[in-house]
Structure 1
Amino acid sequence: MELKTGDKIPNFTAKDTHGNDFDSQEIIGIKPLVIYFYPKDNTPGCTAQACSFRDQYEDFTDLGAEVIGISSDSILSHQRFTQQFKLPFILLSDSDKKIRKLFGVPAGLFGLLPGRVTYVADKTGTIIMVFDSMMAKRHIPKALEAIRKLQ
């Protein structure tokens, strides 16, 4: 079941870039969220997307939102990716793909790649936008526009 606009962000836990436990319940209800699922660290599209979120991260935080990237890469892969590209936001390791399944993220490119979907939720955890596109850099302006509408 794919999550859609109006649905609540489900509760989930994962390991972050530092190997710490991340619990979605600790952030839902506090601030708006941009949660983006991407296929793989260090691939051209995913690097462009992460760097675009990095370059506009302050625009999101100035509006009170947090950005979270999720892929099935390992914590070590996320650490290298974060260090190499100086990513200021949270990356979560979903190695067993449980979070991807929980959100119902569809596979992309005829089922060959993990999907690239961005969810924007308001402070209460209600999804206000879902953007599903393999066009990596299109996610950032769409997410920023949705966050701005919350103001």
Structure 2
Amino acid sequence: MTVEIGSIAPDVELVADNGEQTKLADYRGKYIVLYFYPKDMTPGCTTEACDFRDQHQSFADVNAVIIGVSPDPQEKHQKFKDKYDLPFKLLVDDEHKLAEAYGVWKLKKNFGKEYMGIERSTFIIDPEGNLIKEWRKVKVKDHVQEALEYIKEQQS
């Protein structure tokens, strides 16, 4: 299943890094930057998370919240947040429900091995809960700034 731009964003209740049950509907009235990443503490995922951290206030200034999603367990998310001082929620998608709803749980190949995993992707959801933008197969460099600029454009 793949979501479509203009449709209501799929919403699955998941546990956050702090143990709270969280769903996207909790953030109605704000833009949501929902980013899926493969694994805590890996180089690309750390760079992306730190880029979002460094722009966190800029996103808040345009009425946007950042939410990261990976299959890692709650304890690993909490360590990742603590180590890199991440000011946003990380959701535990260990059963891949949200990833599958967004079509980012994919067959991947690495060093000749095939396995299922997250395809790095970002989605922008508007304050009414509609999916308005997606980036799939994200390259980390400059991506966070691109997402921020997109939200700014929606408000001008």
Same fold at TM > 0.5: yes
Work out the percentage of aligned pairs sharing the same amino acid: 36
Residue pairs, 1:1-151, within 5 angstroms: 1-28=1-28, 30-107=29-106, 109-110=108-109, 112=115, 113-151=117-155
Larger Rg: 2
Partners of 1:99 and 1:106 lie apart in 2 by 9
Which has more strand, going by share of residues?
Answer: 2
User: What stretches of structure 2 of length at least 5 have no aligned partner?
Assistant: none
Change (3 A) 1:142 1:106: farther
Letter in 2 for 1:95: D
Let me know the Cα RMSD of the aligned residues.
Answer: 1.5
Once the two structures are superposed, what CA deviation does each residue of 1:65-121 show, in whole Å capped at 9, x if it has no partner?
000000000000000000000000110000111110111115275464420010011
Partners of 1:6 and 1:43 lie apart in 2 by 33
Partners of 1:12 and 1:106 lie apart in 2 by 15
Partners of 1:2 and 1:116 lie apart in 2 by 15
Question: TM-score, normalised on structure 2?
Answer: 0.89
User: What stretches of structure 1 of length at least 5 have no aligned partner?
Assistant: none
Letter in 1 for 2:123: Y
Partners of 1:138 and 1:102 lie apart in 2 by 26
Superposed displacement of residue 23, structure 1: 2.2
What is the total number of aligned residue pairs between the two structures? 150
Partners of 1:124 and 1:59 lie apart in 2 by 21
